[in-house]
């Protein structure tokens, strides 16, 4: 969805159209969708990234790690979201902005 909304946004920026409110709405839409995409791929249960993590682990390791991650994944996710880090507001915010910036630049053609 972010890529589909980025195409008209890129056109608005490249052509210099006077569609300020449309550009703001599309920009917000792209940023929110990129945030949700990257957040969902964190390898912490109950997010979908944990399924990707289990697919890359060998079956024995996945069998040993899965019960612990399933039990404490949500607590770990809250700790990452609310504990401050040394360089920014929180750990997840630092991870997400590091990944979202280049992807946004690729899709829209402007730095974040």
Phi, psi for 90 (deg, rounded to 5): -155, 170
CB of 30 within 8 A of CB of 9? yes
Residue 80: which pLDDT band, with cuts at 50, 70 and 90?
A: confident
Express each pLDDT in 19-74 by its tens digit: 999 999 999 999 999 999 998 998 999 999 999 999 999 999 999 999 999 999 99
- Measured between alpha carbons, how far apart are the two ends of the chain, in Å? 18
d(CA 29, CA 111): 16
3-state SS, residue 45: coil
Q: Please choose, from the candidates 21, 59, 52, the residue with its C-alpha nearest in 3D space to the C-alpha of residue 38.
A: 52
Give the pLDDT score at 69. Answer: 92
Give the pLDDT score at 78. Answer: 86
Residue 111: which pLDDT band, with cuts at 50, 70 and 90?
A: confident
């Amino acid at each position: 969805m972010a890529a589909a909304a980025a195409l008209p946004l890129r056109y608005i920026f490249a052509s210099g159209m006077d569609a300020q409110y449309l550009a703001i709405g599309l920009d917000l839409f792209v940023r929110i969708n990129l945030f949700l995409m990257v957040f969902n791929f964190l390898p912490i249960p109950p997010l979908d990234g944990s399924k990707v993590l289990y697919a890359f682990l060998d079956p024995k390791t996945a069998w040993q790690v899965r019960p612990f991650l399933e039990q404490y994944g949500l607590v770990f996710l809250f700790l990452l979201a609310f504990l401050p880090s040394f360089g920014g507001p929180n750990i997840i915010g630092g991870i997400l902005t590091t990944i979202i910036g280049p992807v946004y630049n690729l899709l829209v053609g402007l730095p974040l």
